[in-house]
Amino acid sequence: MHNETSARAEAFLFSEGGMLTLHKLAQLLEVDEPQLREALQTLSERLEGTGLTLIRTETEVSLAVAKETSSAVQRAYERELGHEIGDAGLEVLAVVLYRGPSTRAQIDYIRGVNTSSSIRNLLARGLLERTGNPEDGREYLYRPTVELLSHLGVRDVTELPNYAEIVAELRAFESQPTESSSENTQV
């Protein structure tokens, strides 16, 4: 029972991606406080030597990177995020800010190049968020995060410089026929 409850606790903590109150975790696991303490102790012992650890306070619990592996993870993130966003990243941000929620294909079309690595970098930095596309379950929509808007000092995208003008230009650009379709209509 302890192993099953500790495995479920680990799953909830992982899926949460952050901290959970002990009260909330007990509710999710459908256990009482003593059972939760035992399950968390089992989980803590099982995580030893795995690269993860359990952090607990009197009221909260969270999964975290273990002390033994934290410096390696930190160095990797610094290498990944230590570079400037660059022009490509700024262009992707501009497209998403002014166009609104966009698929990678839409961003690629506007920029004229593949944007996979730029999008990955912006997601890792917390400047873009990825959500499911209600129109096509095979692709994602990319949106600006609250952190990005906060960093830019705006409450919403309509406060961005020249917002209406740039939105209109983007719509006009996207409504133009592509080269291949215009070539087919020429006689």
pLDDT category at 82 given cuts 50, 70, 90 is low
pLDDT the model gives residue 182: 47
Query: CA–CA separation, 129 vs 51, rounded Å?
Result: 27
Q: What is the pLDDT of residues 121-155, one digit of tens each?
A: 899 888 999 988 888 888 899 999 988 887 788 88
For residues 142 and 99, is the Cβ–Cβ distance under 8 A? no
Query: CA–CA separation, 81 vs 173, rounded Å?
Result: 32
For residues 121 and 90, is the Cβ–Cβ distance under 8 A? no
| Angle formed by the axes of helices 86-99 and 163-175, nearest 10° | 90
For residues 9 and 44, is the Cβ–Cβ distance under 8 A? no
Domains in the chain, CATH or no CATH each: 2-69 (1.10.10.10), 86-176 (1.10.10.10)
Whether the pLDDT of residue 181 is over 60: the answer is: no
